[in-house]
């Protein structure tokens, strides 16, 4: 587990939010759907992304160092939850592990994973951007 380096974790969280907004905009522009049907990131600073009546919430905790994600119907603290623990990779990125063999190696990977799971809730498949 990553020893708590608050600055590194804050940078990761900001990079994650930027990646989610970037990837959402790219996917929305490729889908041809109206903006109301695409990913909505208006609450990204609060850790929420909406998509067709469903939401993905994420929060980074410092002690212990974890990334907690929830997917489900719109509204806070509903649906399925997944908890990731952090590991330093020697560089600026953080590797996130869940309790299975899933490993997410950077903010772009975490964003792509979260958006894909959100789309899966309504039976949509999105293009892989990462």
Please give the DSSP secondary-structure letter assigned to residue 40.
Answer: B
- 108 Cβ partners below 8 Å, 6+ apart? 19, 23, 129, 130
Residue 65 buriedness (CB in 10 A; 0-12 / 13-18 / 19+) = buried
Q: How far is CA 2 from CA 12, 87, 130, in A?
A: 13, 5, 24
Q: How far is CA 62 from CA 22, 30, 54, 66, in A?
A: 25, 36, 27, 7
Q: Are residues 87 and 94 in contact, defined by beta-carbon separation less than 8 angstroms? A: yes
Q: What percent of the chain stands above pLDDT 90?
A: 55
Q: Are strands 65-73 and 94-97 parallel, antiparallel or unpaired?
A: unpaired
- What is the mean pLDDT of the segment spanning 68-75? 86
Inform me whether the pLDDT recorded for 1 exceeds 50. Answer: no
pTM of the complete model beyond 0.75: yes
In this structure, the number of other CB atoms found within 10 A of the CB of residue 33 comes to: 13
Tell me the pLDDT tens digit for each residue of 8-32.
Answer: 888 999 999 999 999 999 999 887 6
For the segment 73-110, what is each residue's pLDDT rounded down to a tens digit? 875 556 889 999 988 776 667 889 998 889 998 999 99
């Amino acid at each position: 587990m990553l020893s708590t380096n608050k600055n590194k974790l804050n940078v990761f969280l900001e990079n994650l939010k930027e990646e989610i907004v970037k990837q959402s905009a790219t996917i929305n522009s490729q889908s041809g759907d109206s903006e109301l049907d695409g990913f909505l990131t208006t609450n990204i600073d609060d850790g929420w992304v909406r998509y067709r009546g469903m939401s993905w919430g994420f929060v980074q905790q410092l002690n212990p160092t974890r990334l907690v994600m929830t997917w489900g119907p719109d509204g806070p603290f509903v649906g399925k939850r997944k908890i990731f623990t952090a590991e330093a990779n020697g560089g600026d990125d953080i590797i996130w592990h869940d309790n299975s063999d899933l490993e997410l190696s950077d903010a772009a990977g975490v964003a792509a994973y979260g958006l894909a799971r959100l789309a899966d809730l309504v039976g949509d498949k999105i293009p892989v951007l990462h």
